[in-house]
Structure 1
Amino acid sequence: MIKKLCAALALGLGMTAALAQDINFGIISTEATQNLKQDWQPLIDDMSRQTGLKVTAFFAPDYAGIIEGMRFNKVHLGWFGNKSAMEAVDRAGGEVFAQMVNADGTQGYYSHLIVHKDSPLNTLDDVIKNGKSLSFGNGDPNSTSGFLVPSYYAFAQNKVDAKSLFKVIRSANHETNALAVANKQVDVATNNSEVMDRVKERSPEKFKDIKIVWTSPLIPLDPVVMRKDLPEATKAKLRTFFYNYAKSDAREKEIVMKINKLSGFKESSDKQLLPIRQLDLFGQRNKIEADNAIADADKKTRLADIDKKLSALN
Structure 2
Amino acid sequence: MFRKFVRSFTLGLAMAASASIVMAEDAVKTLNFGIISTESSQNLKQDWQPVLDDMSKKLGIKITAFFAPDYAGVIEGMRFNKVQFAWLGNKSAIEAVDRANAEVFAQMVNADGTVGYYSMISVHKDSPYQTVEDVLKNAKALNFGIGDPNSTSGFLVPSYYVFAQNNVNPKSAFKTVRSANHETNILAVANKQVDAAVHSSDVLDRIIARQPETAAQLRQVWKSPLIAADPIVWRKDLPADVKTKIRDFFVGYGKTGPDAAREKAQLNKLTLGGFQVSSNAQLKPVRQLELFKEKIKIEADVAMTADEKKLKLEDINRKLTDIAKS
Q: Normalising TM by the smaller chain, what interval?
A: over 0.9
Q: What pairs up with 1:156-305 in 2 under 5 angstroms?
A: 156-248=164-256, 249-259=260-270, 261-305=271-315
Normalising to structure 2: TM-score of the pair?
0.90
Residues 108 and 115, structure 2, Cα contact 8 Å, conserved in 1: no
- Counterpart residue type for residue 170 of structure 1: R
Residues 79 and 101, structure 2, Cα contact 8 Å, conserved in 1: yes
Shift in Å, 1:95: 0.2
* Number of the residue aligned with 1:81: 89
* Number of the residue aligned with 1:24: 32
CA distance in 2: counterparts of 1:149 and 1:255, whole angstroms: 29
Q: What pairs up with 1:29-68 in 2 under 5 angstroms?
A: 29-68=37-76
Q: How many aligned positions are there?
A: 303
What CA deviation, in whole Å up to 9, does each residue of 1:249-290 have, x standing for no partner?
A: 10110111111x211111000000010001111011111111
The runs of at least 4 consecutive aligned structure 1 residues that moved more than 6 Å come to: 12-16
CA distance in 1: counterparts of 2:269 and 2:251, whole angstroms: 18
CA distance in 2: counterparts of 1:18 and 1:91, whole angstroms: 25
Shift in Å, 1:192: 1.2
* Number of the residue aligned with 2:6: none
Shift in Å, 1:106: 2.0
- Counterpart residue type for residue 282 of structure 2: Q
- Counterpart residue type for residue 294 of structure 2: Q
- After superposition, the Cα gap between the structure-2 partners of 1:19 and 1:304, relative to the gap in structure 1 and judged at 3 Å, is closer
SS in structure 2 of the partner of residue 170 of structure 1: strand
What CA deviation, in whole Å up to 9, does each residue of 1:13-72 have, x standing for no partner?
A: 778624443100000000000000000000000111101111100000000000010001
- Counterpart residue type for residue 243 of structure 2: K
Q: What pairs up with 1:105-124 in 2 under 5 angstroms?
A: 105-124=113-132
- Counterpart residue type for residue 311 of structure 1: T
Q: 2:156 aligns with which of 106, 129, 148?
A: 148
- Counterpart residue type for residue 188 of structure 2: A
SS in structure 2 of the partner of residue 104 of structure 1: coil
Q: Quick check: 40-49 or 296-305, which moved more?
A: 296-305
- After superposition, the Cα gap between the structure-2 partners of 1:131 and 1:25, relative to the gap in structure 1 and judged at 3 Å, is same
- After superposition, the Cα gap between the structure-2 partners of 1:121 and 1:56, relative to the gap in structure 1 and judged at 3 Å, is same
- After superposition, the Cα gap between the structure-2 partners of 1:14 and 1:284, relative to the gap in structure 1 and judged at 3 Å, is closer
- After superposition, the Cα gap between the structure-2 partners of 1:15 and 1:128, relative to the gap in structure 1 and judged at 3 Å, is closer
- After superposition, the Cα gap between the structure-2 partners of 1:13 and 1:158, relative to the gap in structure 1 and judged at 3 Å, is closer
Please, which runs of 5 or more residues in structure 2 have no aligned partner? 1-17
* Number of the residue aligned with 1:96: 104
- Counterpart residue type for residue 288 of structure 2: Q
Identity %: 62
CA distance in 2: counterparts of 1:181 and 1:191, whole angstroms: 10
CA distance in 2: counterparts of 1:146 and 1:66, whole angstroms: 16
Q: Quick check: 217-226 or 193-202, which moved more?
A: 193-202
Shift in Å, 1:76: 0.4
CA distance in 2: counterparts of 1:16 and 1:304, whole angstroms: 46
Residues 28 and 61, structure 2, Cα contact 8 Å, conserved in 1: no
**1:308 partnered with 2:309:** no
